[in-house]
Amino acid sequence: MAIEHIGLAHGSGGKEMLDLISDYDLSYRGNWKNYDNDAATLDIGEGRLLVFTTDSFIVSPIFFPGGDIGHIAMCGTINDLAVIGADPLGISLALVIEEGFPTADLTKILASIKKISRTTKTPVVTGDTKVMEKGKLDKIVINTAGVGVVKKNEVLTKQIKPGDKIILSGGLGEHAVALLSKRFDYTTTIVSDSKPIVEEIKKVKKFIKVAKDPTRGGISASLHEIRQRYNVGMLLDEESIPVKPGVRKVTELLGINVYELACEGRFVCIAAKNLAHTVERILKKYNEAASIIGEITQGDTIIVQSVLGKRLLPIPTGRIVPRIC
């Protein structure tokens, strides 16, 4: 359907965005593969693939419990490389800053970027800085692009099949609730889950087939993407999906769906049934909430099994807005 204006929903990572980008097919892909995934890959010979990804970051507020915009700008791109199975080689950093932005804040943001760069051994190798007139931009926008390499046989785009298990690396909704706590000015012990997942993925890489980090659109969007790509169904066990009580309370109070909230340091992965417990055990060393949350089935829907019966997990649409009723 032709739309006259771009709406905010087109940037929420749900159905509207998918419709929009499928309307504008850029068609020329050269030898790149996996361009509908988190990162695209290019065969560079010797059994290796170059992996390339980019992401732009806008977040309000820019500082929040457990992180800041610089932190997620680094983690987001590094994690997109990681979920393909790649080791990050280098990253680019482009800053677009509003005139009048406090240099003290910029210093803090750059310190976070430096810290993540060191801990993940991902050098920031090129960059750009632009300043826009006051009022033309909301504080700061960051774009990062990353390249990595992965051995062909370690690319996490392996075929999955009914019976395979779905594993989540930690609790849901913590990043979103940390942001909301700043916006609503309430006290919570929940901090953002924003962190690089490179180490965790490395440890489980040989046991898993597919991985995805549930950022925009949350675990709902991620699982639907996997489901569509591999033409499978899924059955999730609601009781085993880890959500901290503090997160659950806030999401219930505001009437927002925890499965649609962005995480910045989590991933879901698919492993063969006989390896799933190994993966779960390894991931528990990084986050004790890591759990097997369901399995791949035949069919084309995602079903959530709760104590009251089964229901469909919908594809996120629109924007996440707290209830007023």
Partner 1 sequence: MVKNELIRTYLNEITTGAEELGKTIILMEVCGSHTNVIMKYGIREILPENIRLISGPGCPVCVSAQHDIDCIIALAKQGIPIATYGDMVRVPGSSSSLEEVRADGGNIFEVYSTTEVLELKKDNPDIVFFGVGFETTSPMTAFLLKNNVCVYSVHKLIPPAIRILAQENINIDGFLNPGHVSTIIGMKPYKKIRIPQVITGFSPEKILQAISILIELIKHHSTTVINGYPEAVREEGNIFALDMIQRHFSIIDSEWRGLGVLPSSGLEVRNDTLNAKKVYKDIISKVTSAKKTKCRCGDVLKGMIEPTGCPLYKTSCTPQNPEGACMVSAEGSCAIYYRYGK
Could you list the residues that contact partner 1 (CB under 8 A)? 1, 4-7, 9, 15-16, 19, 180, 183-185, 238-239, 248, 252, 255, 306-312, 314, 317-319, 321-325
CB of 12 to partner 1, least distance (A): 12
Nearer to partner 1, 1 or 26 (CB): 1
Query: Which is closer to partner 1, CB of 18 or CB of 156?
Result: 18
Nearer to partner 1 among residue 54 and residue 317 (C-beta): 317
Cβ proximity to partner 1: between 143 and 257 the closer is 257
d(CA 118, CA 76): 16
- DSSP type of residue 288: T
Distance CA 105, CA 168 (A): 34
Three-state DSSP class for 113? helix
Which of residues 54 and 257 has its CB atom nearest to partner 1 in the complex? Answer: 257
Closest to 237 (Cα-Cα) out of 162, 166, 172, 161: 166
How far apart, in whole angstroms, are the C-alpha atoms of residue 252 and residue 182? 17
Min separation Cβ 307 and partner 1, Å: 5
CB of 140 to partner 1, least distance (A): 18
Identify whether the C-beta of residue 210 lies closer than 8 Å to the C-beta of residue 160. yes
Q: What is the DSSP string of 225-254?
A: HHHHHHT-EEEEEGGGS---HHHHHHHHHH
Cβ-based neighbours of 6, under 8 Å, separated by 6 or more = 20
Q: What are phi and psi of 150, to 5 degrees?
A: -145, 140
Question: Looking at beta carbons only, is 104 or 321 nearer to partner 1?
Answer: 321
Q: How far is the CB of 293 from partner 1 (least distance, A)?
A: 15
C-beta of 1: minimal distance to partner 1 in Å?
Answer: 7
Do you find a cis peptide bond into 61, omega within 30 degrees of 0?
yes
Residue 143 Cβ vs partner 1, minimum distance, rounded to whole Å: 24
